Amino acid sequence: MEVKRNNTIQVVGIVVAMLLCFSCTGKESPVEDPTVADSAPSLVMQVQKCSKLYTTEYHIHKIVTHHDVLRLKGNLLTKAIDIPLPLGERKIAIPMDATLKAYIDFSDFSEDNIEYNGERITILLPDPKVVMTSSKINQKEVREYVGLTRSHFTDQELTDYEQQGRQAILNSVPELGIVQMAQENAARVLVPMLTEMGYREENITIAFRKNLDIMQLINSNLEKK
How far apart, in whole angstroms, are the C-alpha atoms of residue 137 and residue 171? Answer: 19
Question: pLDDT grade, residue 169 (50/70/90)?
Answer: very high
E strands present in the chain: 10-15, 52-76, 79-105, 114-117, 120-124, 129-137, 143-146, 204-207, 218-219
Task: Give residue 39's Cα distance to chain centre.
Answer: 34
pLDDT at residue 64 in the model: 93
Torsion of CA 146, 148, 150, 155, to 10 degrees: 50
pLDDT at residue 205 in the model: 93
Q: 29 pLDDT exceeds 80?
A: no
Q: What is the pLDDT of residues 101-155, one digit of tens each?
A: 999 888 888 888 889 888 899 999 888 999 999 999 988 999 999 998 888 999 9
Do 87 and 34 meet the contact criterion of CB atoms below 8 Å apart? no
What is the average pLDDT score of the chain?
78
